[in-house]
Amino acid sequence: MFRAAWTGDLTAVCVRSLRAPQKLFAAGVRMSPGALKLWNIADPSPPSIAAAHRQGKVVLRPEQVLSARAWGIWFAFEDDLLERFYMNFLVQRVQRARQRLACNIINLWNLEAIHRSGHLNRRMSRR
């Protein structure tokens, strides 16, 4: 039951994160004053973006961009390569969450097996 709840929650997060956005905002790479390079595809995470907003441009960090996805908001990037970079970053985040869930489930199985064997009770009684 506990594992089923975890898997259900993970599936809901994945579906919410990867569904088609309900609202798009124009966005481009945030230009830092004096920056020699904008960004590189080999960077560990995407650069911050400047998104169009009714009050002007809003600068968003990568984690803010990904969080917006859960609200059905995404960005029409000026650069196709940047859009692919962000989509890969989003998919990698979902994959890491899946890997953490799998690791937690394995740890629960191990803990349950140790408890059923009585080995855990013997160790606790020695203290």
Domain of residue 63, residue span: 2-126
Q: What is the pLDDT of residues 41-61, one digit of tens each?
A: 667 777 888 888 888 888 888
Would the pTM count as exceeding 0.75? no
Instruction: Pull the structure tokens for residue 127.
Output: 């203290």
Mean pLDDT value of segment 100-121: 80
Does the pLDDT of residue 36 top 50, yes or no? Answer: no
pLDDT in tens, 11-27: 777 777 677 788 888 88
Structural domain count of the chain = 1
Higher pLDDT, 5 or 104: 104
